[in-house]
Structure formats: structure tokens, C-alpha cells
Amino acid sequence: MSLMKILWGWRKLTLVGSILVTGAVTLVASNDSNAASQPTTVAAIALYQGADRQQILIEGAKREGQVVLYNSYTWMETVAQMFEKKYPFIKAVVWRSESANVVKRVTEEYASGRFLADLVELSDPAISILHRKGIFQEFYSPESAHYGDEVKVKGKIGVYYLADLEPYIGLGFNTKIIPSTEAPKTYSDLLDPKWKGKISFAGTATGAQWIGNVLNAMGLEYLEKFSRQEIRVQNIAAAALAGLVVSGEVPLSPTIINNNVFTLKKKGAPIEWRPLEPVVAQVGFSGMTTKAPHPHASLLFLDYIHSKEGQEAVMSGGLSSPREDIGSPDKRFKKTYLGLLYSPEELEKRFTEWQELMRRLFIKKM
């Protein structure tokens, strides 16, 4: 073979190699461009609205493997189990406690730089306290369009937290001890001398809300008369107080939440719930933390709980839904939305006043 042919063959090989290398570089650059367009930070993931949002969330959640929820509602554990069935590649870790404990734990974790909670689910004023501390990440969910402005705290693009349930505070009583026909039907009925020494009261956030509602509806004079009924204050969660009603240790309490009674009655417990109007309507809100360790799974959970399917899961626990296009169990009684009556700052101030009033009227007399 002549030298010219060898050189020509080498030139063709070099030319082909250049084309192959150039093509490979172009391909890699294209893939890098797609990767760069996907959200990577918690904030970017939370506010992403691209057509591939669902795909990105699912792929990211599969890598994360779990989501951590802090909340104060017993039924949320069941909702989390239903979420796991829909997304079996995500383990929903739920930590539940009294709302004040949830606020304390989240605040302390943020102060120490330990970011464990992805989601927080609480009612006002507890959730507004965390919001003022900058705990919540603004997020987008297509489901938020089905909720009224009064049950969402808006940001510039999305929301900081969104309502997902409505429980009600009312009268719970043991049906083996108190026949339904004899149980109080109004706040005034609670002042009957026959109930003296038989009434227990939740000394927690639930009790403080009840104090605020009754103060507005009946006045301070009524609360002072009620305090003379030898009220026993129980510094336990409303769910635990409902358990004491079932056991008979507490014959009746006006600070029992309806969904706890719903769950107990399904198990055959001798307990009944009735509204004393106006009833305190709590609103449960859920939001995503700014340092969520599992942001993709967090958004899937928020989408789920605010969807029709998720709200049906919520309602199966005896709760009502704030979603506008879904039917809730009919609650034919007058309600008070304390969280809607005041600004977050005013609500927090009044909540402190209600707690102090509860201590003065009930706890210091014990």
C-alpha cells in the first residue's frame, strides 16, 4: 500500500472519529440541559408547575422513600395508611401529639438545625405561630383551586398552608351513666346543679378554644358560673379525654371532638356526642416545611390529602371536608370559626388570654 493511501485512510478515520465525538458531546449537552431544567431545591420543587410535575414528584419520591408528618389529629394516621396504599413506595411516618407539643418540637428542631419534619398538620392558632416563625415553604398544588380563600394562606404563587379537615368541639357523655334524653342540650344546661362535680374539661388548646367561643357567645358571667360546677381539668389531649368518658371516669365533658367519638362508637363504646351551639369549628391545615428532607413525597401527600380521594379518606373518620366540590356529612348546627374571626396575630394574643382565663377560673381552684 502506498504512503498516500495510508495517509488518506488515516484522514477518513480521523474525520469519522471527530463526527462521533462531536455527536456524543452534543448528546451529553442535551441531557445536561434537561437535567438542569428540573427543580432541585426544596423551594423550586414546591413551586414547580411544569407539565411533567407528577412524573418528577413520583420519581423523586421513589428515591426518598418516605415522608414525615407531625400532627395533632388521631385520624391522620389512618389517612397516612391510605396514602401508602396509593403510593406503596413511600413510607408515611406520623408523629402525633397535642398541638402545643408539635409547635414546641418543630421550633426546637429548627433552632438546633435538625430538620426532621416534612409536613405539619395543625389547626389555628398553633399553625399560625409556626408560620410567623418562617417554618412553612410556599407550595403549589393543583388541588388548592377547589378551596375557598378563607381556608388557605396564600403566598405570591401558591399557598403556605391549606385546610384539609373540620372537626367540631362539643359535648361527649357516657350513655351508660347519662341517658341521651337527660344529657345537656345547651350551655345553660351545663349549669344545672345535678352536673356539679361530674364535668371534666380539656386543659389543652381544645379547652382554650372552647373558653374563647363561650366567652364570645355567653359572656364572662356565664364562665364564672360554670367554674362553680367543680370542674375537673384534665391536661390531656381531647382523644384521651374521650377515652375517659368511655371508661366512665368522666361522665361528661363539653370539650370532646366529634371525630374521636365517631371512631369510638364504631368500636361499640358507650359514648355519644352532641353540639352545644354555637359549636367551635376547628380547621385543620397542612403545610410543607422549608427544610423538608423529602420534598417530592411531601408534595404527593399534600396533593393526595386535598384531592377528592384524600378528602373522602378524611371524612371516613367522621370529619367534615372544607373542599368546595365535595359533599360533607350534614352538620345542622351553628358554628364558630375562631380562626377566621381574627388575624393570626390577634388570634395568638386572644388564645393566650383564653389560656390565662382557664387557669384563673378552673385550674387555680383545684
**In a shared domain, residues 183 and 147:** no
Q: Residue 366 has what pLDDT?
A: 59
CB atoms within 10 A of CB 24: 10
**In a shared domain, residues 121 and 175:** no
**In a shared domain, residues 173 and 271:** yes
Q: Residue 131 has what pLDDT?
A: 95
1 within domain boundaries:
no
Q: Which amino acid is at 163?
A: A
150 within domain boundaries:
yes
Q: Residue 9 has what pLDDT?
A: 46
**In a shared domain, residues 114 and 201:** no
**In a shared domain, residues 58 and 122:** yes
**In a shared domain, residues 157 and 291:** yes
25 within domain boundaries:
no
Q: Residue 8 has what pLDDT?
A: 42
2 within domain boundaries:
no
Q: Residue 318 has what pLDDT?
A: 85
Q: Residue 174 has what pLDDT?
A: 98
316 within domain boundaries:
yes
State which residues of the chain have pLDDT below 50: 1-33
Q: Residue 365 has what pLDDT?
A: 63
**In a shared domain, residues 307 and 209:** no
**In a shared domain, residues 256 and 203:** yes
**In a shared domain, residues 294 and 148:** yes
Length of the chain: 366
**In a shared domain, residues 158 and 51:** yes
The total domain count for the chain is 2
30 within domain boundaries:
no
Q: Residue 329 has what pLDDT?
A: 59
8 Å CB contact between 254 and 310: no
337 within domain boundaries:
no
Q: How would you write the chain as a 3-class SS string?
A: CCHHHHHHHHHHHHHHHHHHHHHHHHHHHHHHHHHHHCCCCHHHHHHCCCCCHHHHHHHHHHHHCEEEEEECCCCHHHHHHHHHHHCCCCEEEEEECCHHHHHHHHHHHHHHCCCCCCEEEEECCHHHHHHHCCCEECECCHHHHHCCHHHEEECCCCEEEEEEEECEEEEEEECCCCCCCCCCCCCHHHHCHHHCCCEEEECCHHHHHHHHHHHHHHCHHHHHHHHCCCCEEECCCHHHHHHHHHHCCCCEEEEEEHHHHHHHHHCCCCEEEECCCCEEECCEEEEEECCCCCHHHHHHHHHHHHCHHHHHHHHCCCCECCCCCCCCCCCCCCEECHHHHCCHHHHHHHHHHHHHHHHHHHHCCC
pLDDT in tens, 66-75: 999 999 988 8
The reported pTM is: 0.74
157 within domain boundaries:
yes
pLDDT in tens, 70-110: 999 888 999 999 999 999 999 999 999 988 899 999 999 99
**In a shared domain, residues 86 and 57:** yes
Q: Residue 198 has what pLDDT?
A: 97
Q: Which amino acid is at 349?
A: K
Q: Residue 24 has what pLDDT?
A: 35
Can you give the CATH number for the domain in which 146 is found?
3.40.190.10
Residue range of the domain that includes 183: 168-281+348-363
**In a shared domain, residues 353 and 213:** yes
